[in-house]
Structure 1
Amino acid sequence: MPCLTEVDRHRALGLPQAGLPISEVSLRMNANRTTIFRPRQRLHEKDTVSDRPRSGRPMCTTQRQDRNLARNHMNNRFLSASASARQTRGRNNQCISANTVRRRLSTSGLRARCPYIGPILTQRQRHQRTLWVHEHAAWDSITLRSVVFSDESRFCIDHANGRVRV
């Protein structure tokens, strides 16, 4: 179940006061009954509906830096995470790691991929290939047996293959 935002916590307080049962409120807000009931209980006990502080290490970058990282990598697709980490300073002027950059880019929806290596076909070349396929679509199995189609793939088991990921 998701945590309730500040607005949702106030809605969880207001809807039962308006006369809706807690089970109906929990269905509307797509949350568990106890999740709806807790802000009410916390308001009576501690006079606040804010969520209690959570444990965990604070993030070393701000949201603005995260957006800048994503924008820089969108503008320069060949920029590596380690180069970006060297250029970016986190909160309190501390260094950030390349894994931090990768995590921030992942939350932005960016993933490392291998760049396309191959012939970039023009519109004329695509048209000619389509014509070739249509001309040879009627070949029978005996004729096709005399043709060899090949495909090459690289497999690297022992070591890094040196390909750049963008």
Structure 2
Amino acid sequence: MNVNRTTIFRLRQRLQKTNTVSDRPRSGRPRCTTQRQDRNRVRNHMNNRCLSASASSRKTRGRNNQLISANTVRRRLSTSGICARRPYIGPILTQRHRHQRTLWAQEHAA
């Protein structure tokens, strides 16, 4: 199995004591937002895909009623699979413009 014998021994001891081989919870910095707040933030960004993380962070308060950082919002959104979006900035094409572009492309294709 390409694992050291002591590793197997420790895992076996842990399984006998706790009936699981998963790691114990460790101490660490507590999260500044609750899961409910994170879900609300994701919902807001799904409704308005062009909302920036910094604008969203200015509206959000954390557990201790403090503002959260834009990086925190970005991390929470990325764990939900949402990435940054920018609104399309370019020429507004009417149906007539599209038709004329298609005709031009067909003429010059050959």
TM-score, length of structure 2 as denominator length:
0.71
Whether 1:74 and 2:46 are equivalent positions in the alignment is: yes
**Secondary structure of 2:81's aligned partner:** coil
TM-score by length of 1: 0.51
Q: Indicate which of 97, 100, 103 corresponds to 2:69.
A: 97
- After superposition, what is the alpha-carbon deviation per residue over 1:96-132, rounded to whole angstroms, capped at 9, x for unaligned? 1111111111222222233211123234422221111
Cα distance in 2 between the residues matched to 1:48 and 1:92 = 37
RMSD: 2.6
SS in 1 for 2:64: helix
Question: Which has the larger Rg?
Answer: 1
Aligned ranges for residues 43-58 of structure 1 at < 5 Å? 43-44=15-16, 46-49=17-20, 51-58=23-30
What is the distance in 1 between the residues matched to 2:49 and 2:18?
Answer: 50
Unaligned runs of 5+ in 1: 1-22, 24-33, 139-166
What percentage of residue pairs aligned between the two structures are identical?
Answer: 80
SS at match of 1:91: coil
Amino acid at match of 2:90: G
Q: Give 2:31's match in structure 1, choosing from 59, 74, 82.
A: 59
Gapped regions of structure 2 (runs ≥ 5): 2-6
Match of residue 101 from structure 2: 129
Cα distance, 1:92 vs. partner? 3.4
- Cα offset, 1:57, TM superposition: 1.5
Match of 1:113 among 85, 88, 96: 85
SS of structure 2 residue aligned to 1:57: coil
> AA paired with 2:91?
P
Aligned length: 103
Between the aligned partners of 1:83 and 1:123, the Cα distance in structure 2 is 35
Q: Distance in 2 between matches of 1:85 and 1:63?
A: 16
What does residue 4 of structure 2 align with? none
Letter in 2 for 1:130: T
CA distance, structure 2, for counterparts of residue 132 and residue 52 of structure 1: 67
Amino acid of the residue matched to residue 68 of structure 2?
A: I
SS in 2 for 1:60: coil
